[in-house]
Structure formats: C-alpha cells, structure tokens
Amino acid sequence: MKVISSPRIQAWTFVEMLVAISLSAIFLGAATLVLGSINANSKRLVRVVNANIGNSANINFYGTNTGTVRVHTAPNYGKAATAQLFRDRMLEDAEASSAVFCLPRVLRNTVRPEFLRYEPGEVGSTSRKVRLDTPEAFRQFLATIDPISAGIHDTAIRNVPPANRPNTTIYLLGPETDPGFIRVNAVYEIDLVPVTNVPGTYVSVRRYKNGSLTHYYDIFFESGAGDPFYPVFVSFEREGRQAVVEGTAIDRFKVAQGSPFSLVWLPDPAINPYDVPAFTVTDPATSPRQAYQKMTGKTSFMVAISMFPNL
C-alpha cells in the first residue's frame, strides 16, 4: 500500500518573529522621525499674512472688492512651482508674438485691450506708418490711440526703467492679420505694492487675455536690509544703432547682434530679495551689467525675450 505524505507546513519561529518585529519597529521609528522633521520644517517655512493693499488695487488686479489679501511669505516653494509654470506660459506667448514691449509705470494699469487700432494697416490708407521698433516708439503709439495710457506709462523708456517706476506692463502683440488692427496676444503685469500693516512688499504677477485675468501668482516679501527688487527689466538694442552716438548710458545697451531683446526678472517666491545682502556693484558704467548687477541672487526666474520673436 502506497502512502502519500502531505506537504510540510512551515511557520515562523519565535526568533524569526522577534527579528521581524524589531526591524519593523526600527523602520517605523525612522519614518516617524523623518515625517516629524518635515512637518516641523514646513511649519517654520510656511507663513501666511493678511496684507492690506487697498480696494482699488484688489479690484484692478483681480476684480475683488476687498482691501486685504491673504498671501504666503517668501520663501514658499509651492508658490515657486506656480511661478515656474507662469514663466513657461510667458515664454509660450512670446514665441507666438510678433513684438514684445516692456513699459515701466508707478500707477496701476487699466489698458489691456484685445486689439489696437492701426489705421496705416487699412487698405488704401494714406496715414503715416508708425515704426514700432523700440519700447519708447510703442509707448508713444499707444498714447495716441488710447490717451488713458499716457497717464499710466508716463515716462520715456529706452533701456532701464527709472527707479521711481517699479511696476511693469509687458504687451505681447500678434501679427497684423486684421486690416486696421493689431491683435494683442496677452498683457503681463508685475506690481510691487508697499504694505504698512505688515512691513514688506506685496508682489503680484498676472496675465490678461482680452482684458480678463487668466493666470497669476503672488507672494509677500517681508522687509529686510537688502536692495529693492529693481530693475524688473532691461531692454537691449541692435548693435547697428551704435552708428549714432548717444552717450555711454545708452550706447552700452546697443549690443544685440540680431533682434533687440529684453531681460525680465520675475519675482521668485522661493527667495526674499530683501533678505539677500546688499550687493556692491563692481562693473564700470560702460558695462550694461552695471545697471542690473544688483539683481544678483534675487530670483531664479530671469528670462530673455526677443523684442521681435518672429523676425
């Protein structure tokens, strides 16, 4: 008679169970310490303040009728990720545009059109065609078709905005596909609002399309001993313009071998520029870097945008 043995059933010994429990306790203990460290650091780094920027600013920026905004203080790395996406969107808009002009201002901007009237573009028009080849030429053109803009963008601009005009509007224009009009692909705005109820600066960076807010991020820079966040942009001209001598302050920016371009510094939520030690300028006045060297270490979001991307 053949005997069929049943399969042997194996189980953990007491020693094996004791070792497994000990290892699990070690792993769980280490994970608890790591989680506790993350929570402690997040509570230390993340801070929210109620910044009173005024009703008029809130309505202009976001269409919200309230004087106070609840905003994170820098550094905030979640906001930095949002700023990265915003930067990418700006570069996409720039690539699809035919001209990009940066204009400084101190007042809040209300000029966010879908189209700009351009009579010389009409068939059979005898109007003189305006040469929009510099930010200043565009500023003057904008003032003729929308007089309100003359009071907002009220300072001539060639290369570096004046220190008393800390805010910026960036107009991204589309090609002339409609006779008599220039399409505005998007309007970007950067505003630095001094706040008194909480010492510091509220920063708002926004994108508008057809006058409507589509994207934005904000951050609060607490007061410190560092330099102001200035300049937000610097415009460079074609080196061919060196044929006309206008003095070192302007001629040093005539270095673009191809299309003129602008450097734009977007506020970085991961860095409070007022906590960065004051920077001592070392470049001579003949160097264009002398005008913006103090931006060193204040943001990770510096972008170069061609003034005429599609040319």
In this structure, what token pair is assigned to residue 194? Answer: 């001094």
Give the β-pairing of 254-256 and 233-238. parallel
- Residue 10 forms part of a structural domain: no
Instruction: Measure the CA–CA gap between 101 and 281, rounded to whole angstroms.
Output: 27
Domain count of the fold of the chain: 1
What mean pLDDT do residues 170-193 have?
92
Q: How far apart are CA 132 and CA 101, in angstroms?
A: 10
Sign of the CA dihedral 64, 67, 69, 75?
positive
Range of lowest pLDDT (13-17, 51-55, 206-210, 215-219): 13-17
Q: Would residue 282 count as lying in a domain?
A: yes
Q: Which two tokens stand for residue 246?
A: 């206008």
More confident call, 291 vs 32: 291
Residue 60 lies in a domain: yes
The yes-or-no verdict on residue 32 having pLDDT over 60 is: no
| Assigned domain for 115 exists | yes
Residue 21 domain flag: no
Residue corresponding to tokens 């573009």:
121
pLDDT tens per residue, range 86-145: 999 999 999 999 999 999 999 999 999 999 998 876 777 767 778 888 999 999 999 999
Task: Please indicate, yes or no, if residue 22 is contained in any of the structural domains.
Answer: no
E strands present in the chain = 48-52, 68-72, 99-105, 115-117, 167-173, 181-195, 200-209, 212-222, 233-238, 254-256, 261-266, 301-306
**Which residue segment(s) compose the domain that 169 sits in?**
47-306
CA torsion 164-93-88-78 (nearest 10°) is 60
Task: Assess if residue 40 is contained within a domain.
Answer: no
Query: What's the pTM value of the predicted model, to 2 decimals?
Result: 0.84
The closest of 100, 78, 67, 81 to 185, measured between CA atoms, is 100
Say what the pLDDT of residue 76 is: 97
Residue 264: Cβ-neighbour burial (10 angstroms; 0-12, 13-18, 19+): buried
The answer to whether residue 57 is domain-embedded is yes
